[in-house]
Copies of this chain bind each other. A is one copy, B any other.
Amino acid sequence: MEIALRRFAKDGYHATKISDIVAEAGVAQGTFYWHFKSKEAIALEIVEDGRRQLLDVIAQGYRREAGTVQDMVQASEALLAGLFRFAESNRYLMELLLGGGGGIEPIRQAIAETRAAMENAFLQNIRRAIELGMLPDTIDAEFRAALIVSLIEGVITRWLFGLGAPDSGIAAKTAEQLASETARFEFFGLLGI
């Protein structure tokens, strides 16, 4: 399944042939169909697995007590670092997730749900911060969550897959550096210190 994941990520869903996967795995074509129901099924399994792992990372990342703005920024930074580290060591999974899954409807769906779950996790935290008076209650929390996840997705895409401007130096950064800079932008924007 790691083989399939890698090939789906690298070549895309459609360009990945079952014959490629089994050849790389060193088994016969028929064997594939003993393990997996179909090509779509294995892709789905992969995405589902990924979703679980990703949500674990988010869930564990956001353990923190209320506190000062400083605390909040640090908490966010920690979560982002966790996410980026996860992405770094699961780059094929992320490539699949962020790449869109080749347009196969059930896969698209599963990916969309994963993204939604991520967004929701951030939304809960924004809401909590509002309750705690750390963020103004006039803002559109959902939209802010969407913006944050956009940020995360964009950073990972550019960091690991080289999309975006070439030689922007982003590829050389560590997960921690990215987390720090992203968190600063998240809370203070361009004008932030």
Contacts and interface: CB of A to CB of B under 8 A. Distances in A.
Contacts of A157: 150
A158 B144 contact: no
Contact of A186 (B112, B135, B190): B190
Number of copies: 4
A157 B112 CA distance: 11
Contact of A155 (B116, B147, B166, B185): B147
Interface of A is mostly: helix
Nearest to A99: B100
Interface stretch (A10-18, A42-50, A56-64): A10-18
A140 B181 contact: yes
A185 B189 contact: yes
B154 A142 contact: no
Contact of A142 (B11, B136, B155, B169): B169
A29 B90 CA distance: 38
A54 interface: no
Nearest to A152: B150
Interface of A: 11-15, 69, 99-100, 102-104, 112, 115-116, 119-120, 123, 126, 135-136, 139-140, 142-151, 153-155, 157-158, 163-166, 168-170, 173, 181-182, 184-193
